[in-house]
């Protein structure tokens, strides 16, 4: 033991400093990581004058960016819904064993946009005909789910689906699930506003931005065609 102590004392001060700093940073990273995986159930009570809706349509980075661009939407939160495991984190959801799907909670001003229009945006901003897949992402955590909070919302959502099918937007059959919104878990902090914070990230450049641009074009054309048909 004494020889070990002597060897430690013999180390240059610069090396000792490096060791201590490394240990400190590692400890800090561990503390940060622990906080990041402590996912808790998120409140489903909107602020006064707001309403909320929830949609799962593939990668929540993409969905968040799309809904944030819509006038009348006041806030979008990325998270997990539709599963059976308590307090799921990103790594656990990606095992495809929790039943959760990457979901966005959308807060909106009902005086500026209604629930029907948000459902319309949902069906136009992703391909609702691909089962357990959206673009390059595969697995049940990327499946299409429209969450509702009341019977009236369910009725509205299904009427919008019929509208989309009538206009033959998608060639294949829509496979979107309908689930009552019972729980929502907010995702880790680094997932929130991911595209705004990481505009040059490879997935963002290759998948998220093109998907956003495709949605903008499709939504603009759809609104134009429906107005002309009235």
> Catalytic residues, which ones?
59
Per the listing, tokens 């963002």 go with 204
Q: Which two tokens stand for residue 165?
A: 């099918």
Q: Which two tokens stand for residue 25?
A: 């940073």
* Three-class HEC string of 119-170: HHHHHHCCCCCCCCEECCEECHHHCEEEEECCHHHHHHHHHHHHHHHHCCCC
- Rg from Cα positions in the chain: 23
The sheet with strand 144-148 has its strands ordered as: 177-180, 144-148, 51-57, 101-108, 73-81, 185-186
d(CA 155, CA 159): 6
Q: Residues with Cβ < 8 Å from 166, sequence gap 6 or more?
A: none
Judge whether 189 and 79 are in contact, CB under 8 Å: no
Phi, psi of 34 (to 5 degrees): -60, -40
Greatest alpha-carbon pair distance for the chain in Å reads 90
């Amino acid at each position: 033991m004494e020889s070990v102590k002597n060897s430690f004392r013999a180390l240059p001060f610069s090396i000792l400093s490096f060791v201590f700093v490394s240990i400190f940073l590692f400890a800090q990273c561990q503390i940060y990581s622990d906080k990041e995986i402590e996912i808790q159930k998120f409140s489903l009570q909107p602020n006064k004058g707001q309403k909320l809706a929830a949609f799962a349509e593939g990668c929540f980075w993409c969905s968040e960016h799309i809904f944030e661009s819509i006038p009348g939407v006041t806030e979008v939160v990325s998270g997990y819904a539709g599963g059976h495991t308590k307090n799921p984190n990103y790594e656990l959801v990606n095992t495809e064993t929790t039943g959760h799907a990457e979901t966005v909670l959308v807060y909106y001003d009902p005086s500026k946009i209604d629930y029907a229009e948000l459902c319309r945006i949902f069906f136009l901003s992703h391909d609702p005909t691909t089962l357990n897949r959206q673009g390059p992402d595969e697995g049940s955590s990327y499946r299409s789910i429209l969450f509702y909070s009341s019977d009236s919302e369910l009725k509205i959502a299904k009427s919008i689906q019929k509208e989309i099918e009538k206009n033959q937007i998608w060639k294949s059959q829509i496979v979107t699930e309908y689930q009552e919104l019972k729980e929502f878990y907010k995702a880790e902090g680094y997932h929130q506003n991911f595209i705004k914070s990481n505009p040059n990230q490879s997935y963002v450049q290759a998948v998220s931005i093109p998907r956003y641009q495709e949605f903008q074009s499709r939504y603009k054309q759809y609104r134009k065609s429906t107005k002309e048909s009235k």
